Amino acid sequence: MSSSESPDTSFEADFLIHPEWLIPMTEKGLILRGQSLAISNNKIIAIDATDHLKKSCTAQQEITLDNHALLPGLINAHGHSPMALFRGFADDMALQPWLEEKIWPAESQWVSEEFVRDGAALAIAEMLRGGTTAFTDMYFFPEEIAKVTLAANIRTIQAAPVLDFPTVYAQDADEYIRKATELNDRYKNNNMVLVAFGPHAPYTVSDSPLKHISTLANELEIPIHMHVHENVHEVADAITQHGNRPLERLNELGLLSHLLQCVHATQLEDVEIEIMANAGVTVVHCPASNAGLASGMCRTQDILDAGINLCLGTDSAASNNELNMFNEMRQAALFGKTSANNASATTAWDVLTMATVNGARAMGMEDALGTLETGKLADCVAVDLDHVNSQPVYDPVSTLVYSVQSSQVNYVWVDGKLCVAHGDVLTMDTEAIKHRAAEWAEKIH
Amino acid sequence: MSSSESPDTSFEADFLIHPEWLIPMTEKGLILRGQSLAISNNKIIAIDATDHLKKSCTAQQEITLDNHALLPGLINAHGHSPMALFRGFADDMALQPWLEEKIWPAESQWVSEEFVRDGAALAIAEMLRGGTTAFTDMYFFPEEIAKVTLAANIRTIQAAPVLDFPTVYAQDADEYIRKATELNDRYKNNNMVLVAFGPHAPYTVSDSPLKHISTLANELEIPIHMHVHENVHEVADAITQHGNRPLERLNELGLLSHLLQCVHATQLEDVEIEIMANAGVTVVHCPASNAGLASGMCRTQDILDAGINLCLGTDSAASNNELNMFNEMRQAALFGKTSANNASATTAWDVLTMATVNGARAMGMEDALGTLETGKLADCVAVDLDHVNSQPVYDPVSTLVYSVQSSQVNYVWVDGKLCVAHGDVLTMDTEAIKHRAAEWAEKIH
């Protein structure tokens, strides 16, 4: 190598990745070719011309990915991971009978620490396999889920549940809240496990615990993750019971802030969108679950136009019935166009932004996640576009959103660690996980 | 083997298949276990207890498929296969600007016999790979598409296009119609290539050729496949131009019969559903395309309730952007529930029926296709449910519709011939097909 070609500095990396397309999500429409990305420890340490990096960087593993797009890891902003064990258990039913006749009775019979670990493992295996690198979760025994996430090396927000009524996990709202704060203490300063308060919904948590949660969330600076305005019945019942719409009640209780994440929000009036925008509330859109339960359509384009941080979630596999952020992006685009009656609404770029940049913002990690940039945490995904269902490629973002199957995810890094290679989950025993799931289904059936 | 165990008759087969679940689609809810299926030449010659068939049948190939569901091949009832070369070329646009500004100019520049062959090959490779064994198609140079389908061994209805205006394929309506009848003559009595008339839409074909087509279709007993009431603008424009809604005009022209297939039909009044039901019209629902182009939602449950034969189509990869009947079934269920505002509407069983039994009926082949029964043509598909995204299995039909990716299709037989094994398309050179598609995109871009 002549001195004129010599790089400015030479450095070492764990991984040096040469994708066909690099989609940093730092700027709308920006798709890089001939660029590579270097990872060291848990961070992206360089993005630069392939020729340059090949000279300047010595990597433990150099991975050339022809026909692959490299993008930020997808962030699933809402789910209940252990419910993967109820996938397909009760379909084609509306929300309330589905909950009251099927899900809640099954939960009260079967949920335990073991159930939670096995279900979370199944969900996490599916999510990692499909390019999801972080997920927000709301379920009983979040401390057990956290153990599974740490072993699998996936990033999570555990929204510790709060309800008025007793379950196997806690006796009353105070106990739920105490457990949530204890969990937060345990994982303080851990960037793989974040904790939030998860008051289930306006109709299952009364004013006093909500006020308490609001105070604590502000003190601890952690999110409040809550189902809000999931369907028209929730809103109608609240008007009957409290005399106002749930969002109005939450606003009066002081919950509307940048810490609040409203999940579903299929029923929004113009003034509510304005209030949420002004308060800096995040909305988590779950299009497939909303459709499956006939909960109504979210006004995605109006929410985006208002400048609200709109994220994307699968909800649980019991109502989805998959934890597939590629399909969820497609659903969000298709339902977004349908609800706006406008084919230019909720574009491929919009939904990929929702699944990356906006998800990171909801986690309070926009400085560390959501885009591919030097210095950020190395959560990234490589997708093979060289399949008959995703050829030809005019615009790789269109291909990713509208044509790709999550089975085309070949490589996944989370926090700099390779978790999926050649489509195999390296950090989990998927055969054992499937076997355990089948055993649970035998019992639950 | 003792004489008491000896089977009644012993016979030979080409394939003897032992799936975990056998879903014949002969009866709602019927899912067989411990049953096997034998194929000889192009037909299913036996479905019986595995133990029994293992003794009575000598097969060239015996295939044991643990964790697989065996079901009738999926029937994609609407598309434009060569447009697979435009996959992702123009997204996030409404129907008319999409057609007028992007698709029609690109077609007039690029469509040729070669384009059609290469595009059809890409589409067919994707469809076979994903478990589609028959498809209805409407595009220029259908005789070229037919050659590709025969080589690939996929079943097709080629709806030969008819338009008022000249294209590279024909000069005027008379020439289009003449070519359609010639094509029908060529493939008379061929059960792999069926021919239909494909008048594009009410707004592109005038009264005189429509009447001519109606007469010929009745004489030849072949279907008329047509885009009808695709969106609100089509209906509004027709009222302005003709003083009535397109369906009313088609009715006056005598087109409404069991031979008519109305594609899209997103805009239907109650009385129109009633008229279509009485006339025995087939409706082809294309949920993803309708959503992508913001064309509106089809009233699937009302159409089913009226007893109309409702089928399922992907439309082309230019508006979908995939030819994936598993995703299309899921879309149909999700949009069906949303449009009906009822989570119990358009169930998993409904959409699997649409994609199999109803598709066969639209082809006029309900006696030969659409279910797994002894004596029927051997079009069938084996799907591996043993993936983390599709476990556990409570109801394999729910799993197939709501959780499976088409990449989980492992085996496909069409007309008794094994076309896909271990997920590889045996009858086509997929590497060459992808290469040709990429070359076209380079030029078209």
ipTM score of complex? 0.96
Phi/psi at A220 (5° precision):
-85, -10
Percent of chain B with pLDDT over 70: 98
B88-119: burial string, b at 16+ Cβ within 10 Å, e else? bbbbbbbbeebbeebbeebbeebbeeebbbbb
Residue B6 pLDDT greater than 80, yes or no = no
Dump pLDDT digits (tens) for A222-275.
Answer: 999 999 999 999 999 999 998 999 999 999 999 999 999 999 999 999 999 999
pLDDT recorded at residue A4? 42
Pairing of strands A35-40, A43-49: antiparallel
Which range, of A94-98, B134-138, B259-263, B285-289, averages the lowest pLDDT?
A94-98
Q: Measured between CA atoms, how close is B437 to chain A, in angstroms?
A: 6
Helix-strand-coil split of chain A, %, nearest 5: 40, 25, 35
Best of B389, B424, B429, B431 to substitute, by most chain A Cβ atoms within 10 angstroms, is B389
Residue with tokens 């609404």: A345
pLDDT recorded at residue B301? 98
Q: Measured on CA atoms in the order A368, A373, A378, A383, is the torsion positive or negative?
A: positive
A196-224: burial string, b at 16+ Cβ within 10 Å, e else? bbbbbbbbebeeebbebbbebbeebebbb
Q: State how far the Cα of A367 lies from the Cα of A357, in Å rounded to an integer.
A: 10
Query: For residue A258, with 0-12 CB atoms within 10 Å meaning exposed, 13-18 middle and 19 or more buried, which class applies?
Result: middle
Angle at B232 between CA B228 and CA B238, to 5 degrees: 65
Dump pLDDT digits (tens) for A163-182.
Answer: 999 999 999 999 999 999 99
**Domains of chain A as residue ranges with CATH:** 3-72+372-425 (2.30.40.10), 74-362 (3.20.20.140)
Q: Measured between CA atoms, how close is A109 to chain B, in angstroms?
A: 17
Chain B residues whose beta carbon lies within 8 Å of the beta carbon of residue A407: 405, 407-408
The mean per-residue pLDDT over the stretch A88-103 comes to: 91
Residue B293 pLDDT greater than 80, yes or no = yes
Percent of chain B with pLDDT over 90: 96
Interface of B with A in 36-95 (CB under 8 A): 85, 87-89, 91-95
pTM above 0.80, yes or no: yes
The mean per-residue pLDDT over the stretch B395-401 comes to: 98
Q: State how far the Cα of B91 lies from the Cα of B81, in Å rounded to an integer.
A: 18
Q: Measured on CA atoms in the order A286, A292, A298, A301, is the torsion positive or negative?
A: positive
Residue with tokens 């989805």: A320
Q: Measured between CA atoms, how close is A260 to chain B, in angstroms?
A: 27
H helix or E strand, kind and range, residue B335: helix B325-340
Which range, of A43-52, B65-74, B91-100, averages the lowest pLDDT?
B91-100
Interface of B with A in 355-374 (CB under 8 A): none
B12 contacts chain A (CB < 8 A): no
pLDDT recorded at residue B232? 94
SS3 A320: coil
The pLDDT-based confidence of A5 (bands split at 50, 70, 90) is very low
A292 contacts chain B (CB < 8 A): yes
Percent of chain A with pLDDT over 90: 96
Residue B3 pLDDT greater than 80, yes or no = no
Q: How many C-alpha atoms does B410 have within 13 Å on its Cβ side?
A: 17
* Residues contacting B241, CB < 8 A, separation 6+: B203
Dump pLDDT digits (tens) for A359-410.
Answer: 999 999 999 999 999 999 999 999 999 999 999 999 999 999 999 999 999 9
Taking alpha carbons only, the member of A353, A274, A273, A366 closest to residue A311 is A353
Phi/psi at B419 (5° precision):
-105, -25
Pairing of strands B35-40, B32-33: unpaired
B426 contacts chain A (CB < 8 A): no
* Amino acid identity at A210: L
Residue A2 pLDDT greater than 50, yes or no = no
Dump pLDDT digits (tens) for A286-309.
Answer: 999 999 999 999 999 999 999 999
Percent of chain A with pLDDT over 70: 98
Inter-residue contact A156 to A148 (CB < 8 Å): no
What's the Cα-to-Cα distance from A33 to each of A73, A351, A390, B386, rounded to whole Å? Answer: 19, 22, 18, 37
The pLDDT-based confidence of A8 (bands split at 50, 70, 90) is low
Q: State how far the Cα of A426 lies from the Cα of A152, in Å rounded to an integer.
A: 9
